[in-house]
Amino acid sequence: MVAFIRTLYILVLVAILGGIVVLFWRMENQRPTISYNEFLTSLENNEITEVNIKGSTIRLKDTFDREFTTFSPDIQSLVPRLLEKSVIIRGQDDRPSPVWTLLGIVLPVLLIMLAWFLLASKQMGKADEGESDKEKGFNFATSATPITFRDVAGVPEAKEELVEIIDFLQKPKKYSKLGAVIPRGILFQGPPGTGKTLLAKAIAGEAGVPFYSISGSDFVEMFVGVGASRVRDLFREAKKNTPCIIFIDEIDAVGGLRGAGGASGGQDERGQTLNALLVEMDGFSTDETIIILAATNRPDILDPALLRPGRFDRQINVLPPDVKGRLEILKVHARKVPLAPDVDMENIARSTPGFTGAELASLVNEAAIIAGRTNRKSIDNNDFDVAKDRILMGIERKGMVISESDRQTMAFHEAGHAILTQFLPETDPIHKITIIPRGRALGHTQQLPLQDRHAYPKDYLLSRITILLGGRVAEEIALNQQTTGAEDDFQQAVEIATKMVCNWGMDPVVGPMAYARNAGGFLGEQSARSHYSEDTARLIDHEVKKLIDDCYARAKEILTEQFDFLNFLADMLLINETLDREEMEIVYNCTKNKRSEKEKGVEQITDVG
């Protein structure tokens, strides 16, 4: 659209310029006019060689090859005299040429069309800001710019899951012959700048298939119906080029839960666009290998309709990288720039906790700009320092970067959770401990259940509560502080304890009873007694509190006993940011060895004494 109007502009400009040129040329070539008498005299004197008659206008050439114009009141009687003097006569039709007639009709039409387009473009202005690629509302890229998995680093789990998808795209027959249904939609979820778009492009690049992309935010502030028709256009194009990938960035802008934020005016449009998307996703047949990738940083507000089987039923977390990941990402981006020998990438990776892939990319770029400004041929360590400060100042406003003391708090908190899992009965083993902020929670300790549990034994629940409280306990005994970081932990702990007392009959004093606490109308709790005496209420409160207090004391006991382990583990977390079970075991063994050495030392001294 924009390109079309631009062409039109150029055409009109050329026409006007052309007109002006012709006009000047004509004025230049305007022959001097002479009177009819003069003309007749010249004719009598045999000075005229040629005339050109058009209507009553006569253009003439004389013996000196000069040209003049004159007007004859009576051409009819002039002709015989001209013949007599053997002047060459040329005639010309005095009706306007058909070209001009045509132009007279076409030009006004063209002008009207131009005006119409200008008006339309003004109305579409907002929706149509983009360049000519975006004319259809989506971007199309083939493997001409192949981004591969080599360009994406620090997201090993995501890559692993996606290898399969690439095979699907490359050999769809192999799978359809087996009757396998190829996954249709994959949702990337994670904070901005973690490489979701990059991953999507890399899949297309690796599989060598076309890549179509569209952004949900393009549909905001658009006319009703435009978004839906763009979605349909996109799928129509994509179907012509299967196998291919469609990437929908910021899908929450269209797929957000209805009513979750946004002005009411946009609701209709969003709803229509979302519906169009769902219809298209459900609409194509299994032999059309189109994989739809979508990205969001707000998976919590997505319309559940999008997550149903056959739609975006696979979800892949793309999280900010840990220190190893950051090093890999830095290496990816440093490939393109010349580095001075003093640059220590590992050190940079260690000193950039909380940086996303995009921020690391811009760190390398900023450093290159700083080096370039002072006309150096390579980037040195100092350039990175300056660049980091600059980016940090930018980020701080967004409130994303974690201060050193926050990291320390997180490290002890998570170490506290993790250590307790090792010393309590009936716990799920540790999968991963990390102090990389993720969503609302700061750190994170992941436990993997050994098997799916349906009935939870009492010991398991007690251990669970103790582990939850361990974060706060560790902060208290190691740093002598209490922070808000334990809020979620407490909430979960109290919830479990309350259920143990009220629902599961696990408290010796209250006994096997069912009481509905906070009768909020959960269907499952309806059968429980929701009315009980003040005394019972007091008793329940007392028992829940006692349960929590006991667990708290137990946590404190274990963590005090394992104080060295706690300190060591927290230190290792500060350095590595993420530890898995084996790494945690190594830390534990190191602590044990150190302790037994110390104890030996003490014994020797007492022996001497």
Cite the active site residues.
Answer: 414
Applying CB under 6 A, among 43, 82, 127, 153 the residue interacting with ligand ADP is 153
Host H or E run for residue 70 = strand 67-71
Min CB(582)–Zn ion separation in Å? 22
- Binding segment for Zn ion (CB under 5 A), chosen from 121-129, 231-239, 341-349, 486-494, is 486-494
Q: Which is nearer to ligand ADP, 358 or 539 (CB)?
A: 358
**Does position 198 bind ligand ADP by CB under 6 A?**
yes
User: Binders of ligand ADP: how many residues, by CB under 6 A?
Assistant: 17
Residue 243: cis peptide before it, omega within 30 degrees of 0: yes
Q: How far is the CB of 487 from Zn ion (least distance, A)?
A: 9
* β-bridge mates for residue 248, sequence order: 214, 294
If the CB atoms of residues 252 and 543 are measured against ligand ADP, the closer one turns out to be 252
What residue type is assigned to position 78 of the chain? L
Closest CA to 361 of 386, 395, 323, 326: 326
**580: its two tokens:** 């898995």
Q: How far is the CB of 205 from ligand ADP (least distance, A)?
A: 13
If the CB atoms of residues 192 and 271 are measured against ligand ADP, the closer one turns out to be 192
Answer yes or no whether residue 470 interacts with ligand ADP by CB under 6 A.
no
Say what the alpha-carbon torsion angle 502, 506, 511, 515 is, to the nearest 10 degrees: 10
Q: How far is the CB of 471 from Zn ion (least distance, A)?
A: 3
Applying CB under 6 A, the span of 39-47, 196-204, 479-487, 513-521 interacting with ligand ADP comes to 196-204
Question: What is the number of the residue whose Cβ is closest to Zn ion?
Answer: 471
Single out the segment in contact with Zn ion by CB under 5 A; choices: 59-67, 345-353, 482-490, 581-589.
482-490
Q: Give 149's strand partners.
A: none
Exactly one of 196, 230, 326, 464 binds ligand ADP (CB under 6 A); which one?
196
Residue 206 found at the interface with Zn ion (CB under 5 A): no
Q: How far apart are the C-alpha atoms of 498 and 542, rounded to whole Å? A: 11
Q: Hey, which residues between 89 and 148 contact ligand ADP (CB under 6 A)?
A: none
SS3 of 218-265: the string is: HHCCCCCCHHHHHHHHHHHHHHHCCCEEEEEECCHHHHECCCCCCCHH
Stretch that binds ligand ADP, among 188-196, 219-227, 450-458, 564-572 (CB under 6 A): 188-196
Check if the beta carbon of residue 467 is closer than 8 Å to that of residue 458. no
Question: Would you say 201 or 464 has its CB closer to ligand ADP?
Answer: 201
Chosen from Zn ion, ligand ADP, none, partner binding at 489 (C-beta under 5 to 8 Å by type): Zn ion
Per rule CB under 6 A, is residue 214 in the interface with ligand ADP?
Answer: no
> Does residue 561 contact residue 515 with C-beta atoms inside 8 Å?
no
Give yes or no for residue 213 binding ligand ADP (CB under 6 A): no
Indicate whether 320 belongs to the interface with ligand ADP (CB under 6 A): no
In 407-561, which ranges are E strands? 430-434, 444-447
CA–CA distances in Å: residue 189 to residues 158, 301, 479:
11, 12, 34
* Binds ligand ADP by CB under 6 A, chosen from 224, 257, 278, 358: 358
Comparing CB distances to Zn ion, the nearer of 226 and 418 is 418
User: Count of residues for the chain?
Assistant: 609
Q: Is 531 helix (H, G, I), strand (E, B) or coil?
A: coil
Nearer to Zn ion, 366 or 414 (CB): 414
Binding status of residue 357 toward ligand ADP by CB under 6 A: yes
Q: Is 154 in the site for ligand ADP (CB under 6 A)?
A: yes
CA distance linking residue 14 with residue 35, whole number of Å: 39
- What are the tokens at 180? 């396998």
CB of 200 to ligand ADP, least distance (A): 8
The edge-to-edge listing of strands for the beta sheet with 67-71 is 67-71, 57-62, 48-54, 88-92
Q: Are 316 and 220 in contact (CB under 8 A)?
A: no
Choices 160-168, 170-178, 192-200, 265-273; region in contact with ligand ADP by CB under 6 A = 192-200
Nearest position to ligand ADP, beta carbon: 357
Mask for 291-310, x = binds ligand ADP (CB under 6 A): ----x---------------
Torsion of CA 27, 31, 36, 42, to 10 degrees: 180
| 489 lies in the binding site for Zn ion (CB under 5 A) | yes
Of 369, 491, 473, 355, the C-alpha closest to 420 is: 473
Beta strands in 131-243 (DSSP E): 139-141, 185-189, 211-215
| Cβ atoms within 10 Å, residue 93 | 8
The binder of Zn ion chosen from 442, 471, 547, 548 (CB under 5 A) = 471
Per the rule left: phi > 0, alpha: psi between -120 and 50, beta: everything else, 96 is beta
Residue 204 buriedness (CB in 10 A; 0-12 / 13-18 / 19+): buried
Q: Across the strands, what pairs with 33?
A: 69
Tell me the CA end-to-end span of the chain in Å, nearest whole number: 95
Which entry of Zn ion, ligand ADP, none binds 193, CB below 5 to 8 A by partner kind?
A: ligand ADP
- Residue 175 is which amino acid? Y
Q: Which stretch binds ligand ADP (CB under 6 A): 125-133, 356-364, 374-382, 572-580?
A: 356-364
Only segment of 22-30, 125-133, 186-194, 513-521 that touches ligand ADP (CB under 6 A): 186-194
- Nearest distance in Å: CB 301, ligand ADP: 17
Measured from the CB atom, is 266 or 471 closer to Zn ion?
471
Q: How many helices, marked H, and strands, marked E, lie in the chain? A: 20, 13
Nearer to ligand ADP, 243 or 321 (CB): 321
Smallest distance, ligand ADP to C-beta of residue 191, A:
7
Closer of 296 and 421 to Zn ion (Cβ):
421
Structure token pair of residue 500: 């143990």
Q: Which residue, 139, 253, 287, 156, is CA-closest to 204?
A: 139
Closer to ligand ADP by CB, 210 or 357: give it.
357
Tokens of 421: 């899992």
Residue 197 interacting with ligand ADP (CB under 6 A): yes
271 binds, among ligand ADP, Zn ion, none (CB under 5 to 8 A by kind): none
Max Cα distance, the chain (Å): 155
Residues 235-274 that bind ligand ADP (CB under 6 A): none
Q: Which of residues 155-184 bind ligand ADP (CB under 6 A)?
A: 155
Residue numbers at the binding site for ligand ADP (CB under 6 A): 152-155, 192-198, 295, 329, 332, 357-358, 361
Residue numbers at the binding site for Zn ion (CB under 5 A): 471, 489
